[in-house]
Amino acid sequence: MNLPSISLLPWWVKPLAIVTVLAGVGYGIYHTGYQAAAPDWQDKLDKQKADYESTLRQTAEAKSRELAKAASDTQKYAQLAHQLGVTLLATESQLKAKQQQIKQRIPDAIRMDGQHWTGLGPVSLRLYQAELGYGTAGDPSLPETQPGDAAKADQAAPVPGYHQKTSWLTPVITVPGAARWKRSLTA
Q: CA dihedral in degrees (21, 26, 28, 33; nearest 10)?
A: 170
Q: Which tens digit of pLDDT belongs to each residue from 136-162?
A: 666 665 555 555 555 565 655 555 555
| Residue ranges per structural domain of the chain | 13-132
Per-residue pLDDT, 42: 81
Per residue in 113-122, is it b (16+ CB within 10 Å) or e — as a string? Answer: beeeeeeebe
Which is higher by pLDDT, 46 or 38? 46
Contacts of 116 (CB under 8 A, 6+ apart): none
Per-residue pLDDT, 2: 60
**What DSSP line would sit under 68-97, residue for residue?**
HHHHHHHHHHHHHHHHHHHHHHHHHHHHHH
CA distance 128 to 136: 11
Work out the end-to-end distance of the chain between its first and last CA atoms, rounded to an integer number of angstroms. 147
Which is higher by pLDDT, 84 or 28? 84
Kindly indicate the confidence band of residue 180, based on its pLDDT and cuts at 50, 70 and 90.
Answer: low
Asked whether the predicted pLDDT for residue 55 surpasses 70, the reply is yes
- Total-model pTM: 0.38
Per-residue pLDDT, 113: 74
Asked whether the predicted pLDDT for residue 165 surpasses 60, the reply is no
Q: Which tens digit of pLDDT belongs to each residue from 74-108?
A: 999 999 999 999 999 999 999 999 888 888 887 78
